[in-house]
Structure 1
Amino acid sequence: MVVESDGLLDESSLAAAPLPQEAVRVRLDRPRADDLTDLVFLANNKTVAANLATMPYPFTVQDGRALITKAGVPRPNFALFAIRMKSTGRLIGIARYANVEPGGPVHVGYWLGEPFWGQGLATEAVHSLVDHAFTYNDIQELQGSCRVTNPASRRVLIKSGFQYRDQGMIRSVGAGGSVPIERYTLERAVWKSLKGWGQGR
């Protein structure tokens, strides 16, 4: 959950993808201008920002507009989604995958607004995000990270098939400095074996 990148949307991968990406209770689709109020309200949370790499705190209207605007810029191996409740269509968070560095590994990043924590919604969203990444891109491995103090994000990664790799440090804008993280990986072959996402478990 810590590693997420600037909100740039890869039109080339999304053009071929059916949108929205459906899960049981949530769906992933493109952020829109009319999401701005919900986006700013939920993102302007120090606890959320402190668990991410690049999200500022305070998160302003200008930050929200910039994220939505950047969502239209093409970039390889990248998708940026609004996480929405299927029942209401309202934005409850953001999920994306991207090369943090050009040619580098593809990282997943995600966050939910605090009112939606602890309900399993992030796991649904990450399952859909992973499915999109492997289905519509030639990605062989995804990486994910979480702060060592964030057991909820660790559970999301593990439930999504990611396997522990190592620990390290990363700079978090919201936390105001470097924080220790755990890094996880998910290979395409493992994803294929888990595509039922818990069916039969």
Structure 2
Amino acid sequence: MKTMIPKIIETERLILRPPQNSDADQIAPRITHDVAHWLARMPYPYSRADAVDWLSEMQKDPDKAVWAITLDGRYIGTIGLEREFGYWLAQERWGQGLMSEAGRAVLDSYFRDPAAGPLASGYFIGNERSANVLRKLGFGPKAAPILRYNLAQDKDLPLQQMYLTPEQWHFLNPVEIKTERLRIHPNEAHHMAAIHAIIAQQKVARNLGSFPHPLDIEFIEERVENGRWRGGWNGWFHIADPAGTVLGMIGFYSSTQGQEDDIGIGYALDPKAWGQGIMSEALRAFCDFIFERYRAGKIQASCFDDNPASQRVLEKAGFEPFEKDMEKSAARSEKSPITRYRLVRRKGASDGTGH
């Protein structure tokens, strides 16, 4: 599996790195009976020659999504995304939360890719340690157990297949964008009423492109569900204060799902929060999030010319005007003049792959 995941991943206690030929002497003694017993393709007894052969295969394709799990410089396990999500950990390190820590780091890096698909994994029935790791990471069972050959035991054993989707991962591990005064999170169903109360106001809706006035709650429910961020190329987020009071929303979209450099951004703020610099603060942080996470060379936005407050918000965030046009808002009776703006990625900024 080719991925955008960094070759080196650091956690609080661990460093994950590509396996090296020099690791053979550390790997072999750690593949004990109780380790190999639960792995589908691991021979047992496991010799240094087995480790050398495996490491030689790894060196043939240095881009393989496989990492050595190291603790204080010592090789204590392996984790990877080849064929499916798999791992093993040295027996003396069981029960310390290290496998969950390594797994969470790899999955977080994997699901940062907006093109990331679902992941499969599994555990042999009876291996409750591995089952607990997968459950903690968000994997769920897929159908009834199947039989799979276990090399170390030389027989077919019942295996519970497990599955993790991008949507489930991002639901369990929601993004949080923090500023001095604000917290920005993906929208969920319980935010609908607060968002509806803001956008249902005519002076808000008339400055948005596709929200009608009057506005019923069903329209918002559909928008929130369709725009729920799943790690892909669109998503709506709510803007809240540290106490959790919803002040507005902000979102982005790519109509080509990233095939073209066409990310657009939109936002709305409760009139009670106008004039406090809140949207400027939120917009700057949100654009930083997009540029850090996505391969976007620019971000575009548009603003009605009779909305100077929004124009100032865009300009304070570094957006520059580049085009005039006429657009119709769902809450306006006729087309009105707009200005299109764009914000270009700063030179040297991350390109969305962590580099």
Q: If the TM-score is normalised by the length of the shorter chain, which range does it land in?
A: 0.7 to 0.9
1:114 is aligned to 2:271: yes
Aligned to 1:3: none
Q: Match for residue 173 of structure 1? A: 330
Among 309, 314, 338, the alignment partner of 1:152 is 309
Structure 1 unmatched ranges of 5 or more: 1-9, 193-201
Which stretch shifts more, 183-192 or 28-37? 183-192
Q: CA deviation at 1:73?
A: 6.5
Match of 2:226 in 1: 70
Provide the TM-score with structure 1 as the length reference.
Answer: 0.80
- State the superposition RMSD in angstroms: 2.5
Quote how far apart the aligned CAs of 1:36 are: 2.2
Shift of 1:60: 1.3
Check whether the contact 2:265–2:300 (CA below 8 A) recurs between aligned residues. yes
Equivalent residue number for residue 156 of structure 2: none
1:129 aligns with one of 286, 295, 300: 286
TM superposition shift of 1:191 = 9.3
1:95/1:115 CA distance change after superposition, 3 Å: same
Equivalent of 1:58, from 214, 218, 235?
A: 214
Quick one: structure 1 residues 107 and 122, their matched pair in 2 at CA, closer, same or farther if it must change by over 3 Å? Answer: same
Check 1:144–1:191 CA distance in 2 against 1; reply closer, same or farther (3 A cut). farther
1:49 paired with 2:181, answer: no
1:97-139 CA-to-partner distances (Å, cap 9, x unmatched) read 1124665521110010111111100011111210111011001
- Structure ID, larger Rg: 2
Q: Does 1:34 align with 2:190?
A: yes
Identity of aligned residues (%): 25
Gaps of 5+ in 2: 1-110, 115-165, 350-355
AA matched with 1:179: S
Show CA shifts across 1:67-110 (max 9, x none). 22223364843232111112x20211110111246655211100
Partner of 1:89: 244
Contact between 2:326 and 2:338, CA under 8 Å: does it hold in 1? yes
Checking the alignment, whether the CA contact within 8 Å between 1:39 and 1:93 is kept in structure 2 is: yes
Q: Provide the rounded CA distance (Å) in 1 between the counterparts of 2:113 and 2:215.
A: 29
Cα separation, 2, equivalents of 1:73 and 1:79: 4
**Taking CA–CA contacts closer than 8 Å with sequence separation of 6 or more, which of the two structures ends up with the larger relative contact order?**
1
Q: Which moved more, 1:76-85 or 1:105-114?
A: 76-85
Tell me the amino acid that sits aligned with residue 343 of structure 2: L
